[in-house]
Structure 1
Amino acid sequence: MPYYVMTMLAAGFGIPILAALNSALGSRIGSPAAAALILFCVASCVTLIAVLITGPQPLLRAADAPKHLFAGGLFVAFYVLSITYIAPSMGVGNAVFFVLLGQLASAAAIDHFGLFGARPSPLDATRALGIAVMAVGVWITQRA
């Protein structure tokens, strides 16, 4: 379990870095969309290497997967494009705070209803309070 926690903390640590680097690239080259495309090309190459190392056989089974499961790519593209366009104007911290707030609300709903095969975990008062505290935190950062 500590491995999972550390991995996810590292992923979370990387999201603002991704936002800062990609928004800076978009500003520097004059196109947030082109910066996003470059990011996806780099990410695709790294992911291809990981697939080749772990074995490409699962790619053959992808054709049999329900097509709605591929929609995750739309969400990744939307996130990268939106953070790349908006972070230079709003600031990386503010943009990521709103992303985090959306992630908390969405994750709570997915867990509460057991959507997309997630293990159901009801939204109790403690979790709801945590999301509310985060919302207040976002509001406070916007007023500063």
Structure 2
Amino acid sequence: MTHQALIMLAAGIGIPILAALNARLGANIGAPAAAAVVLFTVALVTAGAALAVTGPAALTRVAGQPWHLFLAGVLIAFYVLSVTFIAPSFGVGNAVFFVLMGQMISAALIDQFGLFGARVVPLSPMRALGLVAMVGGLALTQLAGRSS
């Protein structure tokens, strides 16, 4: 496994942990939106430290970028806010299940059409079967969780 794959595996492991931790923080303080602000403040400090190490000069090129590229911030805020509000009552597993399904659908579309400058990876029959198997596996984990 390459180091890129290991980093992405770690990021994937972090998603349900992020969901559980921030949902609990939101429940504990009685304000999921405040928990999201705390999360983004910590994230900003962390990203700022990474930028300081890697070189802040790239920030000078931000102003010339297309506006739609900044929608990523809206999407991550939507994810954090929705999981922080919903996971306590819906369950972290259920929340992450639907997040993963959405990720698989959007990733397949982005790859198929090379959206947002991504490398084109056509949806071959084998890849489609793999995606169906992954969704089936996710569904089985949810069904198994309900029967226990």
Q: Considering the TM-score relative to the shorter chain, is it more than 0.5?
A: yes
> Could you tell me whether the CA contact under 8 Å between 1:94 and 1:138 is conserved in 2?
no
Partner in structure 1 of residue 58 of structure 2: 58
Partner in structure 2 of residue 27 of structure 1: 27
Partner in structure 2 of residue 43 of structure 1: 43
> Could you tell me whether the CA contact under 8 Å between 1:98 and 1:138 is conserved in 2?
no
Give the superposition deviation at 1:132.
Answer: 2.0
Under a length normalisation based on structure 1, what TM-score does the superposition of the two structures give?
0.94
> Could you tell me whether the CA contact under 8 Å between 1:94 and 1:142 is conserved in 2?
no
Give the superposition deviation at 1:94.
Answer: 1.2
Q: Match for 1:84: what amino acid?
A: T
Give the superposition deviation at 1:71.
Answer: 0.7
Under a length normalisation based on structure 2, what TM-score does the superposition of the two structures give?
0.92
User: Structure 1: any 5+ residue segments left out of the alignment?
Assistant: none
Superposition CA RMSD, Å: 1.4
Partner in structure 2 of residue 81 of structure 1: 81
Q: Distance in 2 between matches of 1:120 and 1:137?
A: 26
Q: Distance in 1 between matches of 2:85 and 2:135?
A: 23
Partner in structure 1 of residue 132 of structure 2: 132
Pairs within 5 Å for 1:80-99: 80-99=80-99
Give the superposition deviation at 1:26.
Answer: 0.3
Q: Distance in 1 between matches of 2:67 and 2:77?
A: 17
User: Structure 2: any 5+ residue segments left out of the alignment?
Assistant: none
Q: Deviations over 1:64-123 (max 9, x none)?
A: 111111110011000000111111111111110110110011000000000000010111
Partner in structure 2 of residue 120 of structure 1: 120
Partner in structure 2 of residue 10 of structure 1: 10
Q: Distance in 2 between matches of 1:129 and 1:62?
A: 39
Q: 1:79 to 1:24 in 2, by over 3 A?
A: same
Q: Distance in 1 between matches of 2:21 and 2:143?
A: 22
Give the superposition deviation at 1:137.
Answer: 3.5
Task: State the aligned residue count.
Answer: 144
Give the superposition deviation at 1:138.
Answer: 4.0
Q: Match for 1:98: what amino acid?
A: F
Partner in structure 2 of residue 69 of structure 1: 69
Q: Distance in 2 between matches of 1:134 and 1:94?
A: 15
Indicate the percent of aligned positions where both proteins have the same amino acid: 58
Q: Distance in 2 between matches of 1:127 and 1:142?
A: 24
